[in-house]
């Protein structure tokens, strides 16, 4: 783990064996716990690198339905063909368990 003390920003890097078939489910469970803990203490799950495949399905923990709809509307205006970072921030469509790497 490392972070930025000035703003209370933490990065978690669990050491996992990606050759194990149980690792994708473990990653999902860990993400759920990390994100719920961040929200519980009025933190932010988005971090400094915005939202990717893992965080996108959890954005409803942090943002209202109205805000999520604004994300969709903005995406439709600036990327109507959904070619820039598809499945991230809006329109999640990746199953973490089936798309995760399988090599260390």
Tens digits of residue pLDDT in 29-60: 999 999 999 899 988 888 677 788 888 989 99
Helical (H) or strand (E) element with 11: strand 9-11
Residue whose C-alpha is closest to residue 14's, from 25, 26, 32: 26
Number of domains the chain is built from:
1
Assess if residue 104 is contained within a domain.
no
Angle value at C-alpha 68, between 94 and 55, nearest 5 degrees: 40
pLDDT at site 20: 94
Give the structural domain span for 82.
20-99
Q: Region 2-13: what's the mean pLDDT? A: 78
Burial pattern 20-59, b for ≥16 Cβ within 10 A else e, equals eeebbeebbeebeebbeebeeeebebbeeeebebbbbbbb
Q: Is 3 within a domain?
A: no
Is the pLDDT assigned to residue 8 strictly greater than 90?
no
Reported confidence tier of residue 19, pLDDT bands at 50, 70, 90: very high
In a domain, 7, yes or no: no
Predicted structure pTM score: 0.77
Phi, psi of 4, deg, nearest 5: -120, 100
């Amino acid at each position: 783990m490392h972070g930025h003390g000035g703003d209370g920003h933490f990065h978690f890097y669990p050491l996992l064996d990606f050759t194990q078939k149980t690792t994708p489910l473990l990653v999902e469970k860990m993400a759920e716990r990390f994100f719920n803990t961040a929200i519980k203490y009025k933190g932010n799950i988005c971090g400094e690198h915005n939202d990717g495949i893992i965080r996108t399905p959890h954005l409803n923990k942090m943002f209202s339905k109205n805000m999520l709809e604004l994300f969709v509307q903005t995406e439709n205006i600036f990327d109507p063909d959904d070619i820039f970072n598809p499945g991230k921030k809006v329109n999640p469509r990746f199953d973490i368990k089936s798309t995760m790497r399988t090599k260390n």
